Amino acid sequence: MNSLTFCAGKDSNGRLASRSSASAIRDSSYKSWSLTTDRCNITARLRRNCCTAQALTAIAITATANNCSLPVRVIVRPNKWNTWSESNFSSRLGLTVSLDAFSLSLVNKNIDAKFAAADCLGIDLNPNHAGGLFMLVVMHSHATEEQVRSVCQRIEGLGLKAHPMPGANRTAIGITGNKDAVDLGVLESLPGVSECIPVSKPYKLVSREAKEDDTVLRIPTPSGDVLVGGQHVALVAGPCAVETETQCLAIAERVKRSGARLFRGGAYKPRTSPYSFQGLGENGLKILSKVRAQYGFGIVTEAIDNESLELVEEYADVIQIGARNMQNFSLLKRAGRAKKPVLLKRGMSATLDEFLMAAEYILSEGNYNVMLCERGVRTFSDFSRNTLDLAIVPAVKKRSHLPIFVDPSHGTGKRHKVLPLSRAAVAVGADGLLIEVHHEPEKALSDGMQSILPEEFAELADEMRQIAAVLHRSIN
């Protein structure tokens, strides 16, 4: 934790000034203000009742100067929650300050302000752009389920959406749906509530701020639950596309023997060319159901639009949203209303923030069972179908509690690269692998070049068990 102290006040000519030196702290006309950085957040707390708008402006400017290149945004929350909207504030007092690398938005004029939060991620965090000021109600560790329920009811009673997020030590309840800051003061006094804090990241429910512990997903299958995340690493194996029943059953029998418990195969294929094999549609889903019934697999299969999602939800155990649809917002919202877990693949040119924001769409609709999947991005590399961006795994883990898979098949496009990149993926902390396997890859209707043989998958599964064990994890 780093701590910086900033001060603001009037200089000897009565002009607004700000300093960050210790001498300023001793000068009583300057009010002190400290910023604490924890992970990527900066939390600022006013030490005294000094929150004039001018002082805050000066403080923020000083903070910018001290933070060098990092933009800082300060939100001030009053004790009494009698908030003003940002636009109100700026129009009435003209106090929204915008500099190149910095913008200060005061949510309240209040003199008693006790709390401010700033973010130094370099992202535009204006709540009007980010879909509302997101609040988190943190419950005491000893809060009862009944207390959590009644806080949720109060939130819903205010016309907002409550997202209870149980953690190992305490439950936090995310609030979405508020376009402007709303009066949530009442919540702080409810039994079991520890505090209400604003979350300043653009992604909210997916963030580690909202939930500290890794999410461990439980995927129900006919042969029991498959766990993903935390100590648990999952293997998903199967062909790129469902071609025939014989093909699927043959592959399923082999990957089952190697210990895979989740089976993949596209019934709906998003293809670059309209003349390429488009998948068998519902008939493909019926074939997957047979695989499920015969071998006890959980089925992972892609939905390409809202219509196919209805059917995928009915037949499968995990709904896959493919790279090409990562920013299909209506599909994401529909997946957010689905009752099954979602595997969300990273778009081929998506940034980390865009990826997490896509997941946020799903969670914000109430489906918290989301797994991310890195599947390679487009680069200038000329030896690989895509560049598998394994560095995103620890980056996601730093920012989010959601599990992340790696797909080395699409990530490389070449069979011989799948095993080495799988090793690296598990070593870097992936929570699962998505592997294309085909018993006759030369005859495959799609992605034969990157599909490994069942015997190669057996070797892969065996090695992954050993690598996971070194990291005190297990494959289930």
Interface positions with ligand PEP (CB under 6 A): 240, 266, 270, 302, 322-324, 345, 375, 410
Written as six digits, the tokens of 382 are: 């000329």
Q: Nearest-CA neighbor of 397 among 208, 182, 226, 169?
A: 208
Q: How far apart are CA 147 and CA 54, in angstroms?
A: 41
Residue 358 C-beta: closest distance to ligand PEP, Å: 13
Dihedral, CA of residue 75, residue 80, residue 85 and residue 88, to nearest 10: -110
Residue 257 C-beta: closest distance to ligand PEP, Å: 23
Answer yes or no whether residue 243 interacts with Mn ion by CB under 5 A.
Answer: no
Q: Which amino acid is at 36?
A: T
Residue 353 C-beta: closest distance to Mn ion, Å: 26
**Of the listed pieces 144-152, 338-346, 375-383, 446-454, which binds Mn ion according to CB under 5 A?**
446-454
Contacted entry of Mn ion, ligand PEP, none for residue 371, CB cut-off 5 to 8 Å set by kind: none
153 phi and psi angles, rounded to 5 deg:
-65, -40
Which of residues 10 and 324 has its CB atom nearest to ligand PEP in the complex? 324
Contacted entry of Mn ion, ligand PEP, none for residue 345, CB cut-off 5 to 8 Å set by kind: ligand PEP
Q: What letter does residue 222 receive in the DSSP assignment?
A: T
Residue 270 C-beta: closest distance to ligand PEP, Å: 6
Which of residues 166 and 281 has its CB atom nearest to Mn ion in the complex? 281
Answer yes or no whether residue 251 interacts with Mn ion by CB under 5 A.
Answer: no
Which of residues 214 and 436 has its CB atom nearest to ligand PEP in the complex? 436
Contacted entry of ligand PEP, Mn ion, none for residue 375, CB cut-off 5 to 8 Å set by kind: ligand PEP
Written as six digits, the tokens of 104 are: 């200060």
Contacted entry of ligand PEP, Mn ion, none for residue 238, CB cut-off 5 to 8 Å set by kind: none
Q: How far apart are CA 291 and CA 253, in angstroms?
A: 9
H-helix or E-strand spanning residue 202: none
Residue 266 C-beta: closest distance to Mn ion, Å: 7
- For residue 376, CA distances in Å to 53, 141, 349 come to 47, 40, 9
Q: Which amino acid is at 13?
A: N
Q: How far apart are CA 315 and CA 333, in angstroms?
A: 19
**Of the listed pieces 42-50, 154-162, 234-242, 373-381, which binds Mn ion according to CB under 5 A?**
234-242
- Please name the residues in contact with 141: beta carbons below 8 A apart, sequence gap of 6 or more: 169, 170
Which of residues 198 and 322 has its CB atom nearest to ligand PEP in the complex? 322
**Cβ–Cβ < 8 Å for 359, 206:** yes
Q: What are the b/e assignments for 95-120, b being 16+ CB within 10 Å?
A: bbbeeeebbbbbbbbbeebebbbbbb
Which of residues 136 and 445 has its CB atom nearest to Mn ion in the complex? 445
Give the residue carrying structure tokens 């549609």. Answer: 281
Which of residues 125 and 318 has its CB atom nearest to ligand PEP in the complex? 318
Residue 345 C-beta: closest distance to ligand PEP, Å: 4
**Cβ–Cβ < 8 Å for 136, 197:** yes
Contacted entry of ligand PEP, Mn ion, none for residue 209, CB cut-off 5 to 8 Å set by kind: none
Size of the site for Mn ion (CB under 5 A): 2
**Of the listed pieces 44-52, 161-169, 181-189, 240-248, which binds Mn ion according to CB under 5 A?**
240-248
Answer yes or no whether residue 447 interacts with Mn ion by CB under 5 A.
Answer: yes
Phi-psi region of 406 (alpha: psi -120 to 50; beta: other; left: phi over 0): beta
Contacted entry of ligand PEP, Mn ion, none for residue 322, CB cut-off 5 to 8 Å set by kind: ligand PEP
Contacting Mn ion (CB under 5 A), which of 7, 61, 235, 240? 240
Q: How far apart are CA 391 and CA 401, in angstroms?
A: 16
Residue 269 C-beta: closest distance to Mn ion, Å: 8
Residue 280 C-beta: closest distance to Mn ion, Å: 15
For residue 235, the tally of other CB atoms under 10 A from its CB is 25
Q: Nearest-CA neighbor of 132 among 93, 101, 158, 109?
A: 158
Residue 444 C-beta: closest distance to ligand PEP, Å: 12
Q: Nearest-CA neighbor of 457 among 422, 413, 406?
A: 422
Which of residues 322 and 454 has its CB atom nearest to ligand PEP in the complex? 322
Which of residues 127 and 408 has its CB atom nearest to ligand PEP in the complex? 408
Binding site for Mn ion (CB under 5 A): 240, 447
